Amino acid sequence: MPDTRIIAVANQKGGVGKTTTAINLGAALAEQGQRVAIIDLDPQGNASTGLGVPLEERELTSYDLLTGERALQETLRDTAIANLRVVPSNRDLASADFELSNRPGRTQLLRRKLSAPSEFDYILIDCPPALGLLTVNAMVASDSVLVPLQAEFYALEGLSQLLMTVREVRQTANPDLRIEGVLLTMSDNRNNLSQQVEADARSTLSGLVYRTVIPRNVRLSEAPSHAMPVLQYDPNSKGSHAYRDLAREFLSRQLATA
């Protein structure tokens, strides 16, 4: 069994490319021979839809995994991409924060389920756009946090709240949690604001920011409506090339920190 690396893909802001990154980084890693699972921990279930799992076929979900009734292997679904599996999500998860709030060890629930050896090289957890119990469970279960950051005004201000949550999780439940990296998304090099946000992020966060930048790309936006990653929908698009570049950079960072 390999040592599985668990990465939470998190940002409390919605619409920053979080699910797009989880799906397409996962697909790009799988394309390079890595065994990958994506856990959809967002009640909206967009990662599940984007990986081709229809709502009516989500009998077992991350809700069943989190609440303790099912093991990881029972909730996994195959996708159309070799080496890539998914634990789907549905609206049942929306009540998890409330239902689990009084449960002992409520922040450790996912960690317990993912602590057993698995066949995966990487597990990516697509977190909801909030810093509630679901996201905290993901962080407590993870080795690191990957932060998609949209190249827009106030982007860095929102990041500070997320970093504060990471710090709190380190202090209380997972001292080894680290920032995997910050990924600039939805960038438009023709736009002065995008260029300024990128410059500010690199100046402030230094080596945490990936060299790879994900551009605004029509194909990236279209792919989810066809229930597939962009690498499958249009393998030669700018979005596909960017996520392949990200996967290579991601893997090189993994080697450097191993």
Q: What is the pLDDT of residue 157?
A: 78
Structural domain including 75 reads: 5-257
Total number of domains constituting the chain: 1
Q: What is the pLDDT of residue 8?
A: 98
> What residues have CB less than 8 Å from 249, skipping those under 6 apart?
210, 211, 212
Q: What is the DSSP string of 69-99?
A: SS-HHHH-EE-SSTTEEEE---GGGGGHHHH
> What residues have CB less than 8 Å from 113, skipping those under 6 apart?
65, 66, 68, 71, 72, 141
Rounded to whole angstroms, how far apart are CA atoms 91 and 258?
A: 37
For residue 104, count other CB atoms closer than 10 A to its CB.
6
21-24 own/partner pairs: CB under 8 Å, 24+ apart = 21/146, 21/148, 21/183, 21/185, 21/214, 21/243, 21/246, 22/47, 22/124, 22/125, 22/126, 23/47, 23/50, 23/51, 23/126, 23/224, 23/229, 24/220, 24/229, 24/230, 24/231, 24/239, 24/240, 24/243
- CATH number of the domain residue 138 falls in: 3.40.50.300
pLDDT in tens, 84-135: 999 999 998 998 888 888 888 999 999 999 998 899 999 999 999 999 999 9
Q: Per residue of the chain (258 residues), give pLDDT as tens.
A: 458 999 999 999 888 999 999 999 999 999 999 999 999 999 999 999 999 999 899 999 999 999 878 999 999 999 999 999 999 999 989 988 888 888 889 999 999 999 988 999 999 999 999 999 999 999 999 999 999 998 887 777 778 889 999 999 999 999 999 999 999 999 887 878 888 888 888 898 888 999 999 999 999 999 999 999 999 999 999 999 999 999 999 999 998 876
State both tokens at 6: 């668990």
Q: What is the pLDDT of residue 1?
A: 40
pTM exceeds 0.85 for this model: yes
Residues in the chain: 258
Instruction: Give me Rg for the CA atoms of the chain.
Output: 17
Q: How far is CA 4 from CA 16, 18, 36, 134, 143, in A?
A: 26, 21, 9, 21, 9
pLDDT in tens, 34-44: 999 999 999 99
**Residues β-bridged to residue 86:** 38, 77
**Residue 8, φ and ψ in degrees, nearest 5:** -85, 125
Q: What is the pLDDT of residue 2?
A: 58
